[in-house]
């Protein structure tokens, strides 16, 4: 993944490796002159997974590809666990 300028990536659409739209790049987070992570403005159906937040920071290690679109690993997303306690209380 070679980026000539970070400004080329800002505004780029972000998708997961499974093809789901995730959001758009807002900015890069730098640490010691290297890209440490990406601030992404969340869009689509992902907003329900992050509890109403408008954006997230994804570490750069979860980036799979940067080309015409920005692709991140789905493992970077928070998982929505089913609530087993509520289900067992309702069936009692």
Residue 67's pLDDT is 87
In three-state form (DSSP H/G/I as H, E/B as E, the rest C), the secondary structure along 26-86 is EEEEEECCEEEEEEEEECHHHHHCCCCCCEEEEEHHHEEEECCCEEECHHHCCCCCCCHHH
| pLDDT of 80 strictly over 90 | no
Q: Indicate the pLDDT class of residue 48, thresholds 50, 70 and 90.
A: low
| Stated pTM of the model | 0.74
For the chain, the domains span 6-91
Q: Domain 6-91: state its class.
A: mainly beta
The per-residue pLDDT for range 3-21, each reduced to its tens digit, is: 668 888 999 999 999 898 9
């Amino acid at each position: 993944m070679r980026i000539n300028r970070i400004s080329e990536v800002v505004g780029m659409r972000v998708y997961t490796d499974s093809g789901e739209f995730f959001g758009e790049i807002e900015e890069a987070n730098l640490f010691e002159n290297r890209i440490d992570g990406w601030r992404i403005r969340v869009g689509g159906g992902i907003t329900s997974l992050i509890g109403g937040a408008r954006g997230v920071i994804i570490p750069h290690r979860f980036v799979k590809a940067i080309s015409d679109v920005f692709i991140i690993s789905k493992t970077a997303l928070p998982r929505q666990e089913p609530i087993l306690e509520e289900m067992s209380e309702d069936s009692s």
